[in-house]
Each structure stands twice: as structure tokens, then as C-alpha cells.
Chains A and B, each alone.
Chain A
Amino acid sequence: MRITILNGEPDPTSAFDAYQALLADRLQALGHTVEKLDLRALEIKGCSGCFGCWVKTPGECIKRDESATICRAAISSDLLLLASPMTMGFTTALLKRAADQMIPILHPYFVVEGGEIHHRARYAHYPKLGLLVGAGLDTDAEDIEIATAMWRRMARDMKSTLAFTAVADRAAEEMANEIALAA
């Protein structure tokens, strides 16, 4: 399985960052291909809602930044692992900035799916999504549930499903096994 980790941790010295490195190693040891994208190191300008990626340069953001790296990695992956510490009850703004920049992988046309209006697919294949969070001191079960609900909707819009939400509270090896099973 090809796995892309979108690392939304702003702090390179954090334990959660080290945990992801370990997890990537364990997943590789299980035979998966893993690419970890440290979002803090990528130049992502942020979506300004111009719809240029839909109506000017279809499929690509009109801004010259590194958001194309994320879109390309997503489309060529089987699992997109959204990794972020919980902050103020949700995943980070850094991770959200990457997610906002992913709309080029959809087509603007409207379709009805599951009884709701959504956008048409642009690609034949989309990755499954997984959510890996580092709980903060004030994170409670409700926060995880709400974050899961929002990312589940995002997955649905991305023609995919949220395969799991996992809290990074167990050994990386155990987590790697669980992720391989869930995805």
C-alpha cells in the first residue's frame, strides 16, 4: 500500500513528530511505501477561494507554490494519513491549509451522491483517508468525535471514506499494524 503522511505538526522537536517518524519506519517494515510530507516545510500560500483551479487552469492551483506536491501525492496514494496534534479541539491550521489547497483534485460540476449535492470526481482513484491525532492536555473524547465528524465529511467530498481515527497513545509498531488492518 502507498501511504502519504500529511504531517500537520508545526513543531519539529515535538514528541508527535518523532512518533510519526517511527510509525513511518514501522509501516515501511511491513512492506508499505511511505512518504512523509512535513507541511511546515512546504510553501503553501493558502486557498483564497478564487476557483482558478476549476475555471482557469483546471486541476491545478493558479498560485505558484508547493500545494501541487500534496495533490499529486494524494492522487497516487492508497492511504492519505492526516497527522496532527489536537489544538483548541481540532487539528492544526497547518493541516487545514493543506486540505483547503486540495480542491483542485475535484471537478466543479455538481452531482448528487448519497442524497446530497457534492462535486464531481476529477480522478478515477482517490486515497482512503485516515486521521492520526496527538491528544493535547485538554483534548477530550468529544473533541476527537467532532474532529472525526468534520474529516469524515471532508473524506466524503473527496470521493473517499475516513477509514479510521487513531490517537497516538500506543507503540508505533502496534499503530502500524492497526493502520495496515484498518486501511
Chain B
Amino acid sequence: MKSLLLLNGSPRGERSNSMKMLSRVAEGWVRGGGAQPELLHIVRRGQFQRAVEAFAAADVVLLGMPLYTDAMPAIVMAYIEALAPRVAAARAGECNPTLAFLVQGGFPEAAHSRPLERYLAKLAVRLGAPYAGTIVRGGGEALQAMPEQANKKLWMRLTILGEQLARDGRFGPAELKAVAGIERFSRFGVLLASLACKVPAIQFYWDGMLKKNGARGQRFAAPYGPAFEE
């Protein structure tokens, strides 16, 4: 049975959208015949260290993360920096585990995450590691707000991807494409989205939280310079 090191790179740790998605992939991994994964949240200091130490011995490493300012969160980059000795090890003839990634962005379109996907593919090359692919999915922030039923299809796709990883050692291209959802808005989609942004209800997600915190009155605060005015 192949071993899987399951790394959650979300700064939110256990209660993150990345973790929600990763657990479905892990479910599929086990269903596909992989061993029960070792799960580590790298935002926790002790687990970060363990994740560095356990890297080389795993058959497959799946590292999941949210998109932070259009790239990996700083904690994930710190982890990647800690893997630098594995580049030298690979050059000296040692093997590195198969690398698989999951990137989920807050915006609905998958396109925002593509440069990071490109980076991760190159990281596998740098580490001399087989590359299993990157699951890219937009709209991740909406996951917690959605009723469980609404995410059913996504969970199913993620489970299939996990099965593929265990069975074939890589994610299937068709399933990766399907799980990505909206890549970019069509012209019509742009028009609809532009209109939707003008409707107060669409900003309800933020307004609701602002109100709850008694901060809605200060929502346009600009403490460091002249405020933007529409």
C-alpha cells in the first residue's frame, strides 16, 4: 500500500476550505487502495517540522493551499524553502516522493490560480519528483457558506481525483478540468457578474459580517491615505 503525506497549507488550519477539499481527496485515495494518510497542518509549528522530516519517506505528498494574494500563502513558501536540501538530495541520486497539489481560490474563476499551478509543476521538476498534477478550483471561500447539498458534486469529483491518485499515481486531465469549474467568464458572464456586483445583495456576505461586528459604518475607512470614491 502506498503512503500519502497529506499537508494542509491553509493558515486557517483545521477549519479551512482547503481542509474540507483535501479530506474528500483523501477519502478517494483510501477508496482507491492507498494507505490511511498522515495529515499535518503546516501552520502549526510542530506539525510544520514533522512535515519537513516526513517528506522524503512518503510515496506521495499532497499539499493543499488557498490562493493568497495570487500565490501560495507565506507559510507554504516557508515549507517549500525548508525542502531545499531535497533538491541537493535529488541531484545526488536520491528519490523524492510523487507531488500532487490542490489550490483553491476565493474568486469564482480558476484562471487566478494558474500562475501558481505553473510554479508548482516547476517545483516538482526542481525536486526531481514525479508530478501528479494540481487540482485548481475557484469559489473556495463560498464553500462554508453553502449548504452541504450544494457542494455534493464537487465532493464527488474530489473523491474521484483521490482515487485516480492512488490508482494511477496522477490526477486525470479530464477530471482536473471538470473540477476547476469556471475558468474565465464569457462575455455574457462578465456582463452578468458586473450587474450582480451592483446589486447590494451580492455584497451581503461582507455586509452581514460587518454588521455583526458593528463595523459597517466604518467599512470605507482609509487609515493610510485618501479614500477611493466611486
A residues contacting B by CB (< 8 A) are 46-51, 54-60, 68, 71-72, 74-76, 87-90, 92-94, 96-97, 99-100, 102-103, 105, 107-112, 115-118, 120-125, 138, 142-143, 146-147, 149-154, 156-157
Contact = CB atoms under 8 A, between A and B. Distances in A.
Contacts, number: 182
Nearest to B78: A93
8 contacts: A47-B74, A48-B12, A55-B206, A89-B122, A116-B184, A122-B221, A142-B122, A150-B115
Contact of B69 (A92, A125, A154): A154
A150 B228 contact: no
Contacts of A107: 219-220, 228
Interface of B: 10-12, 16, 43, 66, 68-75, 77-78, 80-81, 83-84, 87, 107-109, 111-112, 115-116, 118-119, 122-123, 126, 184-185, 190, 193-194, 197, 202-203, 206, 209-210, 212-213, 215, 218-229
A125 B209 CA distance: 27
A157 B70 contact: yes
A75 B221 CA distance: 14
B155 to A, nearest CB: 22
Interface centre among B10, B66, B119 (most CB of A within 10 A): B119
Main secondary structure of the interface of A (DSSP, over half): mixed
B77 A92 contact: yes
